[in-house]
Structure 1
Amino acid sequence: MQAPGNFARGAGFNTVRSHRDVEYDAFSRVTRELQRASRGKMSLARAAAANADLWSTLAADLADDGNDLPDDLKARLLSLAIFSIRQSHRAIAGNAEPAALIDINLAIMKGLRGEVAA
């Protein structure tokens, strides 16, 4: 969760996007796919595979020596990553619904936006 910011093309000029923006967009896209799958509008296996890929990438970043997040936060996020990857694989196999994955992703998105639970 500490990827360097990148540049995105927008309205005829370059804008700098923070790593949080990039991560939020990735979670938003995958979560939308999971929500569509929960309504039968998309393959659950495909959406869950995308979710597993996202969390695998996140876990690798969290385990990287260059990641400067506090160790306790990294540990909690790695725990969520392990659960999300396992649950995604269960969904791919047809043994789980996407609700828990959606809830976790939405919570991560709130955290990336700095929103605190009421």
Structure 2
Amino acid sequence: MTPNVLAKRTYGQASAPTRTAGKLEYDVIARITHKLKEAAKQGKRGFPALAEAIHENRRLWTMLARFVADGGNGLPEQLRAQIFYLAEFTDHHSTKVLAGDANVRPLLEVNTAILRGLRSGAAAA
């Protein structure tokens, strides 16, 4: 193996773009939101996919709630409280959607609003 090949193999990966935490958050929320939207479009026959997407969305919001409930979290207290409230809303509304008593649209709207906030925060940085 030549030194050039070895150098490219060793250092070539370092030149790959680094994904920031905000970009990762955005990508995860966008992926789940897309799954929710696509499953909802299928109507009743898409219920298994919708249930799976709702489960993923709940896991995401549960994780966000834990993150903002941590005393060492550096976000402003009011923002932490708002995120925690949205996590509670998402959990309760998800139950209603799965029972057939509510529409998935509010879950999509919440996620979309978070995506807009993440995008504008990244643009400001």
Gaps of 5+ in 2: 1-11
What is the TM-score of this pair, normalised by structure 1? Answer: 0.80
Match of 2:52 among 46, 51, 59: 46
1:70 to 50, 60, 76: 76
Query: Could you say what the CA RMSD is over the residues aligned between the two structures, in angstroms?
Result: 1.9
How many angstroms does 1:73 deviate by? 0.7
Q: For the residues of structure 1 that align with 2:101 and 2:57, how far apart are their CA atoms?
A: 16
Which residue type is aligned with residue 88 of structure 2? I
Structure richer in strand, relative to its length:
1
> Aligned residue for 1:19?
21
Runs of 4+ in 1 over 6 A off after TM superposition: none
* 1:56 aligned to which of 56, 62, 84: 62
Partner of 1:80: 86
Deviation at 1:95, TM superposition (A): 2.5
Percent of aligned pairs with the same residue?
A: 36
Counterpart residue identity of residue 70, structure 2:
D
Q: Count how many residue pairs are aligned between Structure 1 and Structure 2.
A: 105
- When you count helix as a share of all residues, which structure comes out higher? 2
Tell me how far 1:53 sits from its aligned partner.
Answer: 0.8
Unaligned 5+ segments in structure 1 are 1-10
Which of these two proteins has the greater Rg computed from alpha carbons? 2
CA deviation profile, 1:18-50 (whole Å, cap 9, x unmatched): 221111011101100110011017422111111
- Kept in 2, the 8 Å contact 1:44–1:91? The answer is no
CA shift, 1:94, in A, is 2.8
